[in-house]
Structure 1
Amino acid sequence: MTTQHPNPGGALHGITVLDLGGEIANYCGRMFAQLGANVILVEPPGGSSYRAAPPLAQSTGESLRFAYDNCDKRSIEVNLGTPEGRETFTRLAKSADLLLDDRTQHDLEAQGFGYDELHTQFPNLTVTAITPFGLAGPYSNYVATDATCMAFGGMLWLGGYDDGAPVQAAGHQSFRAGSLFGAVASMAALVSENGGAGEVIDVSVQECVSLGLENAIQFYDLEGHNRRRHGGKQKQAGFGVFPCADGYVFLIAGGIGGNRFWGNFTEWMQDAGVPNAALLEEQRWWERSFVESDEGKDLFWEIFTQYSERHTKAELLEAAIKWNVPLSPVKTLAEVHESLQLLAREFFTEMRIGEALVDAPGAPYRLLGTPWQSGGHAPQVGQDSDVILSELGADATSVATAQGRGNYA
């Protein structure tokens, strides 16, 4: 069985990508594959360790994360510890435009080469390293989990409740950020007018996480204030998560940047006949000291929840739109899957797990002329080795010899 590319007319058709990565960089390769690039997943004998990452499908034992991140790639097994494997890798690198990896410099050098050496040996190849801490600095050779990267980047400190330990966000968000920034930087290098010369792109996942801290660094730099996590509590009166009849909503009636909505919100509450809504007209709500105080937050909570707890998320959203007040339902995962907006845009695509088809998130962008497209399955270990080696010019004897060793190596 070989992988047939689902999108031969994609925007990146004609670009060849070698994906030597794992759980950090594989999503970057997925984005290239589903825009039409020929992405070759270069795996060690027996396959990538990422294939065992939980959660696993009950029916097949496949890693759902690996299956999603590696849709529409081709797989070849290469043992970089043997002369034959290194020769195969050399042929692959000479034919490729881009190489993706997420191993540290130390781990890569243990294979006999580093990122700079790759660039020297293959000057037309762009090499993108997406590693936990980048290729330089005292932590550059440290490995890390998603939680480690979130912690070192500062995001973990801001997640959770103020009276408890930090809480990690779901979904390996730091690795996703690294892959996204890596894809953007890689595309910039590929389209740059640089005489055909490749580049070495150094992406630090820690830095990608720190870029998402909003104004937390500025608060500390300018005011000496170390921002803390708030969980479901209000940051300021009228700014936070509130309960309703069927769940929760996020409201910005006031607080940071929200005072321009305060008049609309006050009219809404008074029109709805909410008890004590007239108190919202008092001047003290415009004083920072009051809206940041427990007294202000508690009073706002008392007024608004009398109304919110009697209405559903859908009813509150409809009313907020009418009154021009920023409010969002806090969607459950089931509600996201059933979202009319996402369904109208055909966001979800089918992914094959064994014999079953399951819904999975689709493209994070749309190209109208050369659309994103997915065939919906990841390759088996080394399933495309014969075809890829033949494309590289390996003769039948070489292929058979490699097969006889049990790996391409």
Structure 2
Amino acid sequence: MHTDDAPDKPLLPLAGCRVIERSRTAAAAYAGRMLAALGATVIMLEPPEGSRLRRATPTLPETGESALFAFLAAGKRSLVCDASTTDGQNLLERELDGAHIFLDDTPVSELVAQGTDSDAIRRRYPNLVHVSILPFGAFGPKAHWVGEEVNVVHAGGEGFLLPNGLSATLFPNRAPLKIYGHFASFQGGCSAAMCALSAWWSVPRAGGQFVDISVQDAALSVGAFALQRLGDGSLEHRGTRSFRYGGVFEAQDGFVELLTLEDRQWRNLVALMDHPDWAADPALDDPLERSRRGDEINVHIAQWTKLHNVEMIVSRAQSLGVPAAKYRTPEEVLTGEHERSRQLFSQATLESGVQVDVLVAPFQFRCTPLQHPMNVPAVGEYAREIVQ
């Protein structure tokens, strides 16, 4: 028997859904994090020494705790489970008996020995949604390949395309190793969470399903436009990829992004810049001609933005219907009026007792706010809540 959420806890969309998570990677952990944010009870099964994500950088200067793990584990529970032992396998079986969704990024080479390969899970738990989240999927020629973030972000194409635009201009000599953070892994985690919910929704009719998530595939889907252009015979590269005109520009006190995809937005951009003489060229009324002369246009825009501050540019642009936004610091994001209004951040209590603000989820519900205090669990802390 398990003791779950307190009866007075607000009813969230996934209240009553029980998720077991075995995560070595940010991709699987992020999938669990999304489900936990929606109200599912997510139980991490960790090795005795704790998940390796607990030691991932960056760390918080005050306590040395992993900031990445704090975000990924907020709102979850933790049980120690060494699936290579008999006791660990018994615990895993017991937890899966009462679960609706099983998130697992255990390498293919270890699954059969642990009894958690897709066939074994299907036989024992016919109504369980079993989601495998691996760098290159659980089947196919790359299933046994090991891949970290740097591998999958390049295998997914974005490493070839980024950095570009102003980043490449400002720092032309920096090696393009990878995008900062866990871009590909979070894409894989999003795919895993959405596919898990789709499969769970169909359990009454179809029973349990095995869902095979490839992080490479998920990352590849982000570059759909690049793939489309590749099919047309155009190979994009970080050195040449950009919007024909617009993008990120330096202002007096920061950076701003301007984007004009429609004719009306172009006309309003010209109005924003007080109708400069160069923009009066009748040829620029043709969007194809603007595309051909994009580099020339961007030189003029860059000269203009450097003369003004960010807030003026953004406020005037938005009033004129020109898509524009400020590049803000992390502190500005945390305290922003927009973010406060949408309740995007909530307090999480770390194992050390320190409280930090974390993103609740990249989505919100009007009628069922997701904001609620969260704890980052200590290794195995859920064991004392279980009544044998």
TM over 0.5: yes
Equivalent pairs, count: 376
Equivalence for 1:118: 121
The structure 1 residue matched to 2:16, chosen from 14, 17, 24, is: 14
Q: 1:311 to 1:74 in 2, by over 3 A?
A: same
Equivalence for 2:236: 227
Does the 8 A contact of 1:252 with 1:258 survive in 2?
no
d(CA) in 2 for partners of 1:292, 1:11: 46
Unaligned residue ranges in structure 2 (runs of 5+): none
User: Do residues 191 (structure 1) and 195 (structure 2) align?
Assistant: no
Task: Write the mapping of 1:7-406 to structure 2, written as runs, cut at 5 A.
Answer: 7=9, 9-22=11-24, 23-161=26-164, 165-166=175-176, 168-192=178-202, 194-195=204-205, 197-222=207-232, 224-230=233-239, 235-236=243-244, 238-253=245-260, 257-271=261-275, 277-285=276-284, 291=290, 296-297=293-294, 299-353=296-350, 354-388=352-386, 390=387, 394=388
Does the 8 A contact of 1:70 with 1:378 survive in 2?
yes
d(CA) in 1 for partners of 2:303, 2:161: 29
Considering only aligned residues, what root-mean-square deviation do their CA atoms show, in Å? Answer: 2.6
d(CA) in 2 for partners of 1:374, 1:358: 13
Q: 1:359 to 1:265 in 2, by over 3 A?
A: same
d(CA) in 1 for partners of 2:188, 2:242: 30
Question: Bigger CA drift: 42-51 or 257-266?
Answer: 257-266
Does the 8 A contact of 2:3 with 2:385 survive in 1?
no
Taking structure 2 as the reference length, the TM-score comes to 0.88
Q: Secondary structure at the match of 1:215?
A: helix
Q: 1:301 to 1:219 in 2, by over 3 A?
A: closer
- Residue type of the alignment partner of 2:323: P
d(CA) in 1 for partners of 2:106, 2:368: 32
Deviations 1:83-106 (A, max 9, x none): 222222211111111100112322
- Residue type of the alignment partner of 1:247: G
d(CA) in 1 for partners of 2:33, 2:3: 14
Q: 1:286 to 1:168 in 2, by over 3 A?
A: farther
- Residue type of the alignment partner of 2:81: V
Structure 1 position 290, deviation (Å): 5.5
- Residue type of the alignment partner of 1:62: E
Does the 8 A contact of 1:3 with 1:384 survive in 2?
no
Q: 1:308 to 1:43 in 2, by over 3 A?
A: same
d(CA) in 2 for partners of 1:312, 1:147: 36
Deviations 1:91-144 (A, max 9, x none): 111111110011232232343441232122211111011111111121111121
Does the 8 A contact of 1:72 with 1:374 survive in 2?
no
Taking structure 1 as the reference length, the TM-score comes to 0.84
d(CA) in 2 for partners of 1:72, 1:234: 39
Q: 1:368 to 1:288 in 2, by over 3 A?
A: closer
Structure 1 position 199, deviation (Å): 0.6
d(CA) in 1 for partners of 2:368, 2:202: 20
Structure 1 position 230, deviation (Å): 4.8
Q: Secondary structure at the match of 2:207?
A: coil
d(CA) in 2 for partners of 1:243, 1:134: 41
Does the 8 A contact of 2:269 with 2:322 survive in 1?
yes
- Residue type of the alignment partner of 1:243: E
Q: 1:11 to 1:297 in 2, by over 3 A?
A: closer
State the identity as a percent: 29
Q: Secondary structure at the match of 1:211?
A: helix
Deviations 1:40-87 (A, max 9, x none): 111122222221111223343322211211112221112222222222
Question: Bigger CA drift: 73-82 or 131-140?
Answer: 73-82
Does the 8 A contact of 1:3 with 1:74 survive in 2?
no
Does the 8 A contact of 2:257 with 2:326 survive in 1?
yes
d(CA) in 2 for partners of 1:234, 1:127: 40
Q: Which has the higher contact order (CA 8 A, sep 6+)?
A: 1
Q: Secondary structure at the match of 1:355?
A: coil
d(CA) in 2 for partners of 1:346, 1:9: 17
Does the 8 A contact of 2:129 with 2:209 survive in 1?
yes
Unaligned residue ranges in structure 1 (runs of 5+): 272-276, 395-409
Deviations 1:367-399 (A, max 9, x none): 3444324432211111122433x2xxx4xxxxx
Which has the larger Rg? 1
Deviations 1:235-264 (A, max 9, x none): 32x3222221111211224xxx34442222
Q: 1:322 to 1:40 in 2, by over 3 A?
A: closer
Question: Bigger CA drift: 193-202 or 241-250?
Answer: 193-202
d(CA) in 2 for partners of 1:79, 1:377: 23
Equivalence for 1:399: none
